[in-house]
Structure 1
């Protein structure tokens, strides 16, 4: 039976009043009241001891202690809360067990750490791929086990948009792709995937492209040499052979440009090409590229405008930067109608340096933009046949910017032209050689 607090108070007062009256009847009213208070206090101490014993080990006592009045209601209420807590705990434990079982079934290694990198939990695949051991590694900093400088930098930078590729510390022949996600109070969820097969296939592709390019370059050089010789003495050749020779020479030139781009891309992708970081005069470089673009435009009479900020010295490889910048500017010339406007703008701000190339060309459907930097991807294959493009220009731009810690931004709409922006970090901006 449950009573309100006012009912409990009235019962206590009635009990004390009864003790007072009993004491008065015996001739000692104060003694009767004190004896009543002492009895109630003793009973209360007994209930407190029973409550303490139960709360000290609630799982040992299935049922709550029995009592009456206020303490009976208190025991019953705590017992209900305890049973509700047990049901909730069992339900959460069941869900946690299912999550752990499903995570342990994954082939990817999953590791949970706190904000400082202290490992709190990992699945079975992490023991195989990363070499973690539950009996010794729990609570250890993840940097003590993944001793890769690249991983430490990646972990601390908090920029996890792109994954990190490293070798497994436990099995060096395994290539891993690391992806980190933030959750909770700046905690980390680390997922490592085995990408050994993809890495091997990618290496095979690079080797194939590199070897084929080198092997094709020699016979193609011979063919070009003979074709140029025949075209130089075209007056001595029968008229019916002039057009085939010119077509052969033009197509051989396209193939030579393709092989040249393939070899450059192969060098950018592999460790064969060592970057020659130096102070590059962007003003001088862009002026030369714009001059070459005007020559490429020829009779098409494009308007090419160039504006350059005062801070025009960049720390990087001038050869790579020339390839990237010229690809973007020359593409603008190729895909802009005659007499169209092309603006080349170099500007620096608090975020870094930015080269933007805007044209008034035919534009690109935004659906193609995410794939434009893929090798041989063509938004409109017919356009490349007309312009002689190889489909590798923007792939080269992408890798050059990656080598210079930069990013490529593309905005375009059909019929509204296109804008290509190369973003470089602020640390790449430097002073002139004389000032340095």
Structure 2
């Protein structure tokens, strides 16, 4: 066997392909950002800065050790833009294709039942799926870019070319949940402007829902009774988290003189909504995150950990995982031996996969927090927010990331990579390794609790 054939044989599992593809993209991005032409005059870029920025762009996180607008030249900014676009399209495409791959391993009868139920991805060719994902992404970004560009040109006197460039960059960053902005205060200067904040928030939500959910909504938005469990859970949990987060942030920060306090009442609700949207993996901010109350930091940690929808551009354990575990808990509290969502019963392997992803994520966040605490002098609440933001590929920060030692920044790089690639690889590994045991062991019920 030739060396090339041995290399291909080694990377046949989808989990390996995903990890290698994202690592290769980060390596290319690091190389390009390390070039002198990528840095603005008077600035210098070290290897760690290039690696950190390439990772945060490809993994569409948004944490940064340098100011994106002032440190990088137009070439460097375009590289970051392309990396965010590639990372977002890669996540949506790979996650959706994994769904097809997993369904292809089902038996003929199960595939026919699944196709009859969803009438969507299982009956669609791969080329059509990829084409629809690309068109959906580019069209969504084009609409948001047009709205932002016009607003910046008409209301903020930006030159037409500059307004168009800013519109495109922030539309791509928002839709792909990239979290990077070309203003040093992120979106804080637009805290009272709904024509900027609402399109950005809508793009974050739309990109975070996931292509399978959007595809099904387009096809059957008038027939909610026919929606799949994925769509029902994604929409229901997302709406509950957005509503609850908006209410919580608005109430907790209402009188905070460093965040919502000085704003008019109607602007407080707008800023509260925007602040609730961003932890789902958007990463942009309209108020100063470092000045929020500890209660708001904790709520942000929870929302970032849950994240966005499956097969979307957001991170976290996914609202689907969170919703499935909630239904499992509800069934257990009611003493039911089956877990039902609407008129569908959840398969046992799906429940175990959700539990595995959640517990693995908790372990990684705990380990990352412990290690970072040993490296820096900052308090637990600030360190925890930074770690969850990196693992959830969100990008919200209390401002300590640029001041972390090299070891701390490398830890965040690892967390961003694992947080972005991990859920895909874990899901594919669990789903594709599913097999039926040919014998049963004697049952025992140990004491729980």
TM-score (norm: length of structure 1): 0.23
Structure richer in helix, relative to its length: 2
Structure richer in strand, relative to its length: 1
TM-score (norm: length of structure 2): 0.23
Q: Bigger relative contact order, structure 1 or 2, given CA contacts below 8 A and separation 6+?
A: 2
